[in-house]
Amino acid sequence: MRITTYKNNASTESMKKIILPGIYVCVYFLFSTPLIAETISIDSKKSLCLAEANNNSVHLQQGLENWINLERRESQQAYEHRINEIEANGGVFDGAMLPELIGLGILHQEQLNHEEAANAFQRALYIIRVNEGLYSTKQLPVIDFLIESNTSRQEWKQVADSYDMMYWLYRRNYADDDPRQLNTLKRLRRWYMESYNKKTGRNLEQLFTSAEDVYEKAIKIMWNCSNGNAQETMCFWHKSCCQDALPLQEVCPLDLKK
């Protein structure tokens, strides 16, 4: 299922003018962009695009919170007892296990037992796919938990696999020019650029090609959001790229900050 399509009116020649110079102008600042981003709302079309991207992240998180109680805490034994009970009555893919598995994973994560946490989150993902479908966006918050635990374990191939799954889900659920992808595209590019020296199972060509692909995709979305304003489009990546465009602002209102 593809969600609302946003028409992109930028010409190929116009896009070349921003993409190619932008690579060099902002390459330094790209490396200082935070992994997890949120937006600052301003009264313009481009801010609405970014606000929509941020609202989508909030929506996914709220969906998870409606699904399970993130404040609930049980003992490991209580979670495991409930999981075994549900499995005995409903089978290994019973969706009722999801709150228990995610709760168990979060508990292990808080106790720094990241291998056990990753196992719980991975099992939860399997159950989501069986019950909700392969393309379900309910997987996205759980993938975030899995990335956190596998990063702590320095299991870089598994982290890379999770980022690939994240991007695949966004491609399956959102049109190419949908601004709801912006935060994730920025996060993905950061990962591709930072993982060059990690054992991800991907070579440098694959990583840098992937980084450039998501960069160009995000630039095209921002080009449309800003009505073809090159400087404001680059502002998506870092506030220093838009100091001249917005001289009265202490920080760039389009900067996605931690």
Q: What is the pLDDT of residue 30?
A: 33
Quick one: which of 157, 146, 144 has its CA closest to 184? Answer: 144
In angstroms, rounded to a whole number, what is the distance separating the alpha carbons of residues 200 and 143? 17
- pLDDT tens digit string along 64-110? 666 666 667 788 999 999 999 999 999 999 999 999 999 999 999 99
**Which amino acid type is present at position 232?**
E
Q: Are 100 and 86 in contact (CB under 8 A)?
A: yes
**Which amino acid type is present at position 163?**
Y
The region that residue 253 occupies, defined by phi over 0 for left and psi between -120 and 50 for alpha, beta otherwise, is alpha
Q: Are 121 and 100 in contact (CB under 8 A)?
A: no
Q: Is 235 exposed, middle or buried (0-12, 13-18, 19+ CB in 10 A)?
A: buried
Quick one: which of 185, 226, 171, 190 has its CA closest to 15? Answer: 226
pLDDT higher than 80, residue 135 = yes
Residues 6+ apart with CB under 8 A from 212: none
3-state secondary structure of 257: strand
**The pTM of the whole model exceeds 0.75:** no
Q: Are 97 and 116 in contact (CB under 8 A)?
A: no
In angstroms, rounded to a whole number, what is the distance separating the alpha carbons of residues 49 and 182? 9
- pLDDT tens digit string along 198-244? 999 999 999 999 999 998 998 888 888 877 777 777 777 665 555 44
Chain mean pLDDT for the chain: 75
Domains of the chain: 1-67+163-258 (no CATH), 71-153 (1.25.40.10)
Cα R_g (the chain), whole angstroms:
20
Q: What is the pLDDT of residue 225?
A: 80
- pLDDT tens digit string along 48-71? 665 666 666 666 666 666 666 666
